[in-house]
Structure 1
Amino acid sequence: MTPSTSSSVPAAPQAEHSLTRSQRLDRLPFTRKHGKLLGASGIGWALDAMDVGLISFVIAALSVHWGISKGDGSLIASAGFAGMAIGASVGGLLADRIGRRSVFALTLLVYGLATGGSALAMGVGTLIVLRFVVGLGLGAELPVASTLMSEFAPARIRGRVIVWLEAFWALGWILAAVIGTFVAASGPTGWRWALAVGLVPAAYSLVVRWGMPESVRFLEQKGRHDEAETIVRSFEETAEQSARGQTADGPSGTVGAEPAPGAAREASEASEATVRAAAPDAVGEIPQADTVESTGGIWSRALRRRTAGLWAVWFCINLAYYGAFIWIPTLLVERGFTLTQSFTFTLIITLAQIPGYAMAAWLIEVLGRRWTLTVFLTGSALSAIGYGLADSEATIIAAGCALSFFNLGAWGALYAIGPELYPTAVRGTGTGAAAAFGRIASMLAPFLVPVLVVAGGQTLAFVCFAIAFALAAAAAFTLPEQRGRALAQ
């Protein structure tokens, strides 16, 4: 078939209308517009990670400068996670009702303003309240961002794209470690300046609102077919131009440009011929999605098993991850290291997240989602045991890096598999509810660690985390494999 010279040339009559909009998106190559969408979502994701990571350094700094107790530190951390639990649930519901993009922008605004306000807190009580508000925004943003990106990513590399998105978490956490090491540890008011950086997401929310497209699947669910068609056409045109080595200019080259009224009606109907012209190597048969009904919600007969498995993974991974990483800087101080040494070790450990994500991004389309998630969770369990037994600077850093590598690779696979388990009507609800349930564990973890440390030292605490990771691995293996499949409608 000869590639058309213009995206407005109609396809052969026999091919016209043969593909749905979702299928047309699934068959596209990864284009510049996908990259812009990934970057826009990823920056929001990194800012989230920066905020979550900063609080561990803030707690450690306040334990030195304010003399707060472990109980107060636990309350500060858990208040944020309590907000995240509510935010994840409500955010998912809202995303299925008013749209992914709108909720994403709103959450950035909420937690950005609240984080900036936290820098002015004059007491533990005020800080706890503001951390709860921060959590509302953080909790809603993460599942909504992964859902939006899943609904645009080409089917054959969708898992890899979501791991790339999750990899921005490592960048944000590294930024938090840098700010913690060089700002929060700089003096009695250093933690305030560190939190003041949290105002950045508030400004970025405006960029997100006007610079990202709304989910095509969501628009179709709401009967907004003209808008959906215009967005799909813009992605197809970018793919065609890329295939010809051209540079896209104008509205079609801008991710998420608001469609002009009636623009879709003036454009020719996209077709299989158009997709072949854009990506002749990417139009093989795409396995169909599981046939699942959203009737009855995420606990319907068709969905209840995968919901239960996903919730179990979310709960256990949250318990172990936040139990470990929120307390690592403070626990290092308790071992006799200075605040600067503690933050420096944490920064080094955090850097290991990047290769963890890279490995997960490769394996997820080779081994599949279920095996990748299971392998990385198993590695996390073994690394947690190693960290609990570490008794020197070298072993602490080595075991910490291994824990960081495997744990964050597991997070990448988890965010990839979640949206694939549900049809469009409940996709935001399903991913948000699982995240919300997991946040219950993240609320418990900060309180659990001091109790475990008193009862059996840091070794007992990290053995418990290892058990949680192992249980998560077992639950992950019960989830259906969705590699390469189209998302369920």
Structure 2
Amino acid sequence: MVAIFRQYRYNKHSDKTGVNICVKMEENMDIISRLEQVSVSRFHYKLLVMTGLGWLFDAMDTGIIAFVLPVLAKEWALTATQVGVIGSIGLFGMAIGAVLAGSAADKWGRKAVFAVTLLIYSIATGLCGLAWNYESLLVFRFLVGFGLGGELPVAATLMAEYSPAASRGRFIVLLESFWAGGWLAAALISYLVIPYYGWQSAFFLGSVPALYVFFIRLAVPESIRFLIDKGRQNEAAAIVSGIEQAAGIRPAAQPMAAAKTDMPAAAGTKIAFSELWAAPLAKRTILLWLIWFGIVYSYYGIFTWLPSLLVKQGHTVIKTFEYVLIMTLAQLPGYFSAAFLVDRIGRKATLAIYLAMSAVSAYCFGQAGSAEVVLFWGSLMSFFNLGAWGVVYTYTPELYPTRIRAFGSGWAAAVGRFGGILAPVIVGYLITGPEGFAQVFTMFTGVMLTVAVVVWLFGEETKSRTLDEISQ
């Protein structure tokens, strides 16, 4: 995985004549063209696994708090509103983390921010196990959310910038599929550990991913497009040469002793929020913000509360963990089916269909009575909802140019997190009514159907287009 770093030689003309600038621009396009021409290889799958493991750890932490809440609510005598606030405070941290990390990733690089944010949420997760009261847990959950919110869009951006255009959608959905693995890990930890060793032990296990940062620093390369955007052509060309050499498609460039020929970064590299609202990005920004708000509102409102909701329906804690584990398993075929469709029928159709079917499943789940019906519709809801998530993470970085890709993706994710902040609190309020369970899922049905219609009417198709073609 670690690229063979070699230097890249280019002509030295005077910048005053403008010739050197043209030569450098041609070389930048050549580097990107060479990267695009590398077909799917072992390199891409290794990068998928390396970024995917970070994704898995994110999901494991999110899942752990969902399983801890019903136990914690009983032990600390928490109200439904307090339980909702615990779920929401992490989303508030994620919103802030997504914006700050996105901006940092466009300034200092995807790789560094990916590693730092993973370290933050891992340490903070361990601190949750030391929480001594409700208020201290809120502080630690905010820090966990900050790290989580920063890591997710940055990892998706990095994977998108390395994936070949024809299979980019598949790779990003497969990256998102690691989320199901993290929830499975959380379900297993909760089922096997919490009943015997207490809820604190689940958080301590959630801090283990901090050790993974060392592997990231060794094995994950920096984004080629980021390096070129910052004037670091030699590094970019060296990484591409290493990828080509590993794939056996052409000889790597010969090394050059000096590395001072990198083009200086373009002037005015400071990223402004107003850029998200300049044509043609304004329409894309509005679309993505609506999608993110709706899908995050639905997901965190449903799945953060799911174990607690089932307990309130009369199921035991152990049985609830079993049911959620089965529903979580349904996420994997949901991801894989979306990965199959996203590069065939496109992002727009796949996302709209999966959101609509998730809405139907949510409504039927809310009306279910027996355990068998709950499991059936809950599994379908999980299948379609998480498949839709995979497409959202594919779609988002594609709609922004390199210079603000992580920044734009971070803002979209941040807006979504505010939906996630509202949802657990609103669920906590609705669930206290006599028809609370049905009302909650009727609400989520309406939200997901609305987003599906918005995608179908206003979505832009990006299937099989290179990132440079989309950003024009």
Query: How does the TM-score come out when normalised to structure 1?
Result: 0.85
Q: Over residues 179-228 of structure 1, what are the superposed CA-to-partner deviations in whole Å (9 max), with x where a residue is unaligned?
A: 11111233xx5211101012212111121122210001000011111100
Distance 2:442 2:85 in 1: 23
How far apart are 1:262 and its partner, in Å?
4.4
Distance 1:60 1:261 in 2: 61
How far apart are 1:260 and its partner, in Å?
8.8
Q: Over residues 43-70 of structure 1, what are the superposed CA-to-partner deviations in whole Å (9 max), with x where a residue is unaligned?
A: 0000000000110111111123332221
Specify the alignment match of 1:373 in structure 2. 351
How far apart are 1:264 and its partner, in Å?
8.0
Amino acid at match of 1:481: E
Specify the alignment match of 2:438 in structure 1. 459
1:20 aligns with 2:30: yes
Specify the alignment match of 1:235 in structure 2. 243
Distance 1:108 1:77 in 2: 20
Contact residue 28 and residue 228 of structure 2 kept, 8 A? no
Which of 147, 164, 177 aligns to 2:174? It is 164
Specify the alignment match of 2:203 in structure 1. 195
Contact residue 166 and residue 412 of structure 1 kept, 8 A? yes
1:422 aligns with 2:400: yes
Q: How does 1:349-360 map to 2 (within 5 A)?
A: 349-360=327-338
Which of 31, 34, 44 aligns to 1:34? It is 44
Q: Over residues 73-103 of structure 1, what are the superposed CA-to-partner deviations in whole Å (9 max), with x where a residue is unaligned?
A: 1121111111001001111111110000000
Q: Over residues 296-353 of structure 1, what are the superposed CA-to-partner deviations in whole Å (9 max), with x where a residue is unaligned?
A: 5111121100110110010011111111111110111111111100111000010000
Q: How does 1:182-261 map to 2 (within 5 A)?
A: 182-186=192-196, 189-240=197-248
Amino acid at match of 1:58: V
Which of 91, 102, 120 aligns to 2:130? It is 120
Specify the alignment match of 1:474 in structure 2. 453
Amino acid at match of 1:47: F
1:483 aligns with 2:460: no
1:397 aligns with 2:375: yes
Q: Over residues 96-142 of structure 1, what are the superposed CA-to-partner deviations in whole Å (9 max), with x where a residue is unaligned?
A: 10000000000011000000111111111111100000000000000
How far apart are 1:431 and its partner, in Å?
0.5
Distance 1:193 1:17 in 2: 53
Which of 191, 201, 214 aligns to 1:181? It is 191
Distance 2:355 2:257 in 1: 49
Q: Over residues 240-295 of structure 1, what are the superposed CA-to-partner deviations in whole Å (9 max), with x where a residue is unaligned?
A: 17x99xxxxxxx9xxxxxx99848899xxxxxxxxxxxxxxxxxxxxxxxxxx999
Distance 1:18 1:197 in 2: 44
Long gaps (5+) in structure 1:
1-6, 11-15, 245-251, 253-258, 267-292
Long gaps (5+) in structure 2:
1-5, 10-25, 262-270
Distance 1:485 1:294 in 2: 26
Specify the alignment match of 2:387 in structure 1. 409
How far apart are 1:239 and its partner, in Å?
1.4
Q: Over residues 342-396 of structure 1, what are the superposed CA-to-partner deviations in whole Å (9 max), with x where a residue is unaligned?
A: 1110000100000000100000011101111111001110010010011010000
Contact residue 98 and residue 410 of structure 2 kept, 8 A? yes
Contact residue 88 and residue 420 of structure 2 kept, 8 A? yes
Moved more, 24-33 or 159-168: 24-33
Specify the alignment match of 1:287 in structure 2. none
1:57 aligns with 2:35: no
Contact residue 108 and residue 201 of structure 1 kept, 8 A? yes
Amino acid at match of 1:406: F
Distance 1:71 1:369 in 2: 37
Distance 1:261 1:24 in 2: 19
Contact residue 229 and residue 264 of structure 1 kept, 8 A? no
Aligned pair count reads 435
Contact residue 81 and residue 429 of structure 2 kept, 8 A? no
Amino acid at match of 2:42: R
Contact residue 83 and residue 428 of structure 2 kept, 8 A? no
Specify the alignment match of 1:325 in structure 2. 303
Contact residue 226 and residue 262 of structure 1 kept, 8 A? no
Query: Percent identity at matched positions?
Result: 44
Query: How does the TM-score come out when normalised to structure 2?
Result: 0.88
How far apart are 1:449 and its partner, in Å?
0.4
SS at match of 1:357: helix
Distance 2:125 2:272 in 1: 37
Specify the alignment match of 1:387 in structure 2. 365
